[in-house]
Amino acid sequence: MKLKLMMLLAVISIMHLIGCNQDPHVNRTQLSQKLERGFVTPPDSIQTSVYWYWISDNISREGVVNDLHAMKKAGINRAFIGNIGIDNLPYGKIKMFSEEWWKIMHLALKTATELDIEIGIFNSPGWSQSGGPWIKPEQSMRYLASSELKVMGPRQITQQLPKPSEQFQDVKVIAIPNMMRDELMLTHNNAVIESTPRLANLARLTDNDPLTGVNLPE
């Protein structure tokens, strides 16, 4: 009986130890701490990449060196250099492909090598790597814009359409029936809205403004 009791106590002790090791709260805490350490101090095996935009020719030797050291401190070990321009940002003095620009590029690559940071370079300047001084306006990236002209028919008309912007290229002219004719729309000019009980500001229902409305009583 004594031997059986000792064996039973031993089994209970082992099960208790195993249960403690599998405590889900402890595992979650350890995992959380491991993730936090990984974010604070990323290991070199983690490839953290960024786009490194050189904007509107505003670059300098000191600036690129400071940027790279800041990347290294933040755990960034890969950067892709892109030269882009922003219209509302004044341009700097270091023009792309100038002698000073090449010197700054060489310094950036040399410093990145010393810091063990991989560098990639966009194959062309501009957004989506599709710009450059050799790109003519008609070859540049564009987007579809539109303008609208309402006419009454049926009849033939000859009229200049409004320009959607100063620089544009015609793509297509489309004529479609206006299913929202003014006479078919409720407005404050052709309708009077009343309610029971009486509500204030009912004219807002027909002012064609999606930001206005009427509060209904509870």
Conformation bin of residue 137: beta by default, left when phi > 0, alpha when psi is -120 to 50: alpha
Structural domain includes residue 121: yes
Q: Which residues are CB-contacts of 65 (< 8 A; sequence separation ≥ 6)?
A: 107, 108, 111
pTM, rounded to two decimals: 0.51
115 domain-assigned: yes
Strand partners, 82: 53
Establish if 60 belongs to a structural domain.
yes
Please state, for a pLDDT cut of 70, what percent of the chain lies above it: 82
Work out how many domains the chain is built from and give that number: 1
Show the beta-strand stretches assigned E in the chain.
49-55, 78-84, 118-121
Q: Is residue 22 part of a domain?
A: no
Please check the confidence at residue 99 and state whether its pLDDT lies above 50.
Answer: yes
| Over residues 151-168, mean pLDDT | 83
3-state secondary structure of 50: strand
Q: Over the chain, what is the mean pLDDT?
A: 81
**Is 80 exceeded by the pLDDT of residue 61?**
yes
pLDDT at 179: 66
Domain harbouring 76, CATH code: 3.30.750
Tell whether 142 is covered by a domain.
no
Q: Considering the domain boundaries, does residue 53 fall inside one?
A: yes
Q: What's residue 183's pLDDT?
A: 60
pLDDT tens readout for residues 160-203: 888 888 888 888 888 888 766 666 667 767 778 888 888 888 88
Whole domain around residue 70: which residue ranges?
49-132
Residue 184 lies in a domain: no
Q: What are 7-50's pLDDT values in tens digits?
A: 444 444 444 444 445 566 668 888 888 888 887 877 777 778 99
Residue (of 52, 124, 58) closest to 86 by Cα position: 58
Q: Is the pLDDT of residue 63 over 80?
A: yes
Is 82 within the bounds of a domain? Answer: yes
- Output the pLDDT for position 13: 47
Asked if 94 and 59 count as a contact pair (C-beta separation under 8 A), the reply is yes
Q: Tell me: the pLDDT tens digits for 199-216? A: 888 888 878 788 888 888
pLDDT at residue number 194: 85
- pLDDT: which is higher, 120 or 167: 120
